[in-house]
Amino acid sequence: MKKFIVLLFIISAIALFNSCDKTGTNTSKKSAMQDDAIEQKVDSVLALMNLKEKIGQMVQYSASWDVTGPASAEGDKFKEEKLKKGEVGSMLNVTSVEAVRNAQKLVMENSRLKIPLIFAYDVIHGYKTIFPIPLGESASWDLDIIEKSARIAAKETSAAGMQWTFAPMIDISRDARWGRIMEGSGEDTYLGSKIGVARIKGFQGDDLSKNNTIAACAKHFAGYGFGEAGRDYNTVNIGEHELHNVILPPFKAAAEAGVATFMNAFNEIDGIPATGSKVLQRDLLKGEWGWNGFIVSDWGSIGEMIAHGFAKDKKHAAEIALNAGSDMDMESYAYEAELEKLIEENKVKLSDIDDAVKRILRLKFQLGLFDDPYKYCDEEREKNEIYTKEHLEIARDVAKRSIVLLKNDTVKKSTLLPLSKDINSIAVIGPLADDKDTPLGNWRAHGEYNSAISLLEGVKAAVGNSTKIYYEKGVELTSKTVEPGENQFLHHIEYNTTDRSGIAAAVNAAKKAEVVLLAIGENAYQTGEGRSQTNIGFIGLQQELLEAVYAVNKNIVIVLMNGRPMDIAWAAEHVPSILECWHLGSQSGYAISDVLFGDYNPSGKLPVSFPYNVGQEPLYYNQKNTGRPMSTQVTYSGYNDAPKEALFPFGYGLSYTNFTYSKLSLDKSEMDKGGEIKVSVNVTNNGSRDGEEVVQLYIRDLVGSLTRPIKELKGFNKVMIKAGETKTINFTINAETLQFYTVNKKWEVESGEFNVWVGGSSTTNNMAKFTVN
């Protein structure tokens, strides 16, 4: 009888939803009716649940066993029994249609209420078709292509049975030592906000109930990218105004874009772990911002509050986390063990548990899992919609747009790049030249080991039979052979510092070639979670290889593969051409060759500043001025042994053509706080090639109630300009452009004088002035 009543409630709710879906022609009205229907269904299911079942929805397990077969270890058997009882809300790392179907069956065929699971996975830059790492993709400054890559990732992930990804990471980071900088969009708040929203749109599409979209997760809330000394998980010490002006805006933009979930952060801010911050989670995100999704903890972060010294035991940690607003416990086992007792002791409120459960159920209804728990379990889609030719073509397009030309000096009256496909000879040298794994980068989901197109393969495919190619590895990057996937779990990778046996052959190859393509940088596991480094230069014998090759052939193009800004000061001083190629994904070698041989004119711009050396870190373009910003005297804010500016600044990137800016104009010199100013500038392509330019708008508030950055990105436009063509690019400056979190602890525009720049990088001096009354 109980099962019949449960079924009746759910069928009635679904019928109500379907009837609402067919009424009304106005889109917003229809959406509101659908939302109302979902809320009624959520309430109806919640009313049927007992406390254990409610708490169960707040539990997420990782699949530590083969869910296509029986559990073996005691811990696995425990998880299986919890699934059968309906006391688990979500699983992660269940990654195939068969595995998802079998795990879902445990719930649907055994539990009392048959509330479906939601399955999650870290799909960071592609599922099996791997795109550039997020930092690299951000260098495209192309929001459409970024959204498209997330769309492909969602299609493949959903075809493999999953409905939820832990992406995008929208942490602002300004420290190249932090290994996880590769997973974000760089150092700038405005750019990071725009890219984060593009990725959310790509993952979630226009309708989460479609079986080819997935729920996104904005992470890590908040401050994770500001860990002291660039050390992962480390303490964050920032002021309230820096938090609101620099770190939180991308999360606010994500909430406004309708991101389905948030993930809290490992770090503490001002003594309070983010997982236990009521101010961040319950007051700001759920309260002031009015966001109605749910918050999942990062892996074990609820339990880690014990190690922080913020909770005395797991019970105390569960109390803090729930009261702070953390809805789902990922792998801490704190909620399932302690919340019942905490309710009995009146240390947590049942209303807060109900609120968390409603948020989780809401997403499951939005995904359509109550309509069909197996709607993502389609073997035909899994077979036909993953790693397709179309997806690989898009991956190549995204990759070539992510490449940044850092340097291209004139050699013998012309620039070294682009190369002719009829060139007589090329030496392809370096430990990463024929590496088919490193281009996949870290966090490569189901990207297959050694599946990327290597640089050597790309070059061979690009040139004709008459071109002689000399390949030599030169040096091994590591001193230990590592099995596929093993690198991911090594805390310290053993890099080669002694074996120079291959350098002589590399030098000999360089002597015979017209041009050297030198592939050096970082392997796939030098960046990523837990991969902080104090050495951000060429690890191992790579610098020695570079200098040995340079001694016999100056015509070098460095093909830089990396996941962070690097110290490449020697190379920048000596080598004529440098291509920043990041870890570009499945089609890396083809994309690099597209740029090397001029089939694509590079258009990427740096989303992070490159330092002269690691001692400058953290380094970013939008610094404060200080009271002693510059001087010829000793007593100013700089270094005695290095410049204070970046080697290659934020927003910088060259092209095979030349763009000039002229006639920067404002339609007025004054505006009211609620008004607007129109900005226009002429951009001319003075070269012989068509090319794309990222036109960037920066402002400075000269005097504020708080000190303001010397320059802030407030707009950009990526535009194709044909050779010899001039285009007028327009921007609008308004209250949204100028507001900041002021000394009054609110967002507002202040009166005063402002500078505005428009140009091709953050160092542009093409400036105008205006006043806000």
Using CA atoms, how far apart are residues 86 and 115, in angstroms rounded to an integer? 7
Contact 588, 581 (CB under 8 A): yes
Cis peptide before 524 (omega within 30 of 0): no
Among candidate residues 79, 80, 120, 44, the one with its CA nearest the CA of residue 357: 44
Using an 8 Å Cβ cutoff, are 406 and 654 in contact? Answer: yes
Helix axes of 27-48 and 2-21: crossing angle, nearest 10 degrees: 170
Question: Cα–Cα distance between 486 and 555 in angstroms, integer?
Answer: 37
Where helices occur in 2-109 by DSSP H, the ranges are 2-21, 27-48, 51-57, 74-84, 97-108
Which residues are paired to 379 by β-bridges?
A: none
Question: For residue 437, how many C-alpha atoms fall within 13 Å in the half-sphere facing its CB?
Answer: 16
Which listed residue (142, 175, 188, 298) is catalytic? 298
Pair 338, 319: CB distance under 8 Å: yes
Dihedrals phi, psi of 82, to nearest 5 degrees: -65, -40
Distance (Å, whole) CA 12 – CA 21: 14
Residue 646 and residue 611 in contact, taking contact as beta carbons nearer than 8 Å: yes
Beta-strand pair 404-408/577-580:
antiparallel
Distance CA 188, CA 206 (A): 27
Cα–Cα nearest to 263, from 233, 294, 297, 292: 297
Q: Which residues contact 276 (CB under 8 A, 6 or more apart)?
A: 305, 310, 311, 317, 320, 321, 324, 326
CA distance 592 to 458: 7
Distance (Å, rounded) from C-alpha 623 to C-alpha 6?
Answer: 59
Please return the burial class of 501, using the count of CB atoms within 10 Å of its CB with bins 0-12, 13-18 and 19+: exposed
**Cα 442 to the center of its chain, rounded Å:** 12
- Residue 381: C-alpha distances to residues 102, 123, 300 (Å): 17, 18, 33
CA 606 – CA 588 distance, rounded (Å): 18
DSSP-assigned states of every residue in 333-363:
--HHHHHHHHHHTTSS-HHHHHHHHHHHHHH
- State the burial class of residue 333 (Cβ atoms within 10 Å of its Cβ: 0-12, 13-18, 19+): middle
Nearest one of 400, 446, 386, 384 to 142, comparing CA atoms = 400
Phi/psi-derived region of residue 88, left when phi > 0, alpha when psi is between -120 and 50, beta in every other case: beta
Strands 268-269 and 272-273: antiparallel
Verify whether residue 298 is a known catalytic residue.
Answer: yes
Q: What is the residue-wise DSSP string for 544-570?
A: HHHHHHHTT---EEEEEE-SS----HH
Residue type, 267: N
* Catalytic residue ranges: 298
